[in-house]
Amino acid sequence: MNITEFPRISRREAIQWVIAAGASAALMPSQAFAADASAAAPSGKPYGTDPLLNHTYHPGELWPLTLGPDQRGTVVALCDLIIPADDRSPSASAVGVPDFIDEWISAPYAQQAADRAVVLDGLKWIDAESGRRFGRPFAGLDATQQTRIADDIAWLPKAKPEHQSAATFFALFRNLVTTGFYTTPAGMKDIGFIGNVALAKFPDPPKEALAKLGLS
């Protein structure tokens, strides 16, 4: 499976991706990479059971963020490789997905702490592999070079034994990117989702969707 083709498929089947993201993240072996000092437990405190739902929180307001400049550069590059800008919507980084990922791995909860270790070690692997193959960090590679690395880890069942841990990281990271993107206004517009909007009438489901479900 070619990573350059992969995001286009996910856009067509975005609803399935968003639903699958939570389930697959829960089933994923979160400790595929050995945790090191960089994946130490976050220092923030949970916001409890009574957050201010009418308040707009800004990145880093609830707890200290994790990503340094180099890590963030890798995250931005990988986000935009997975969901690049096209004639329908902006790129993942343009709508704040790197901020979402930084908030996620910085949150002081058990699931996020497990994901934090995988993401940080995965980013370290990506840059090390980029240096080994091309002599530069991942963010400094061109799209073709980035794709050559991503193709080796884009699909866990087909990844080589030496790439299994990296492929597990990529699966988690891809889920975070797609979840972050398709829950933004731009992402919802991209798939034609029109929730929380008053409608004068309720249109029928798209013929393509009915045909896929065998209901046409």
Q: What is the pLDDT of residues 147-157, one digit of tens each?
A: 999 999 999 99
96 burial type by CB count under 10 A (0-12 exposed, 13-18 middle, 19+ buried): middle
Q: Residue 96's pLDDT is what?
A: 96
Model confidence at 202, in pLDDT bands (50, 70, 90)? Answer: confident
Measuring CA to CA, how many Å separate 88 from each of 55, 162, 190, 209?
A: 30, 37, 6, 20
**CA angle centred on 39, ends 119 and 136, rounded to 5°:** 55
- The yes-or-no verdict on residue 214 having pLDDT over 70 is yes
Query: What are the domain boundaries of the chain?
Result: 6-212
User: Is 15 in contact with 209 (CB distance < 8 Å)?
Assistant: no
User: Is 146 in contact with 196 (CB distance < 8 Å)?
Assistant: no
Q: How remote is the C-alpha of 176 from its chain's centroid?
A: 3
User: For 106-123, how does the pLDDT look when each residue is reduced to its tens digit (9 = 90+)?
Assistant: 999 999 999 999 999 999
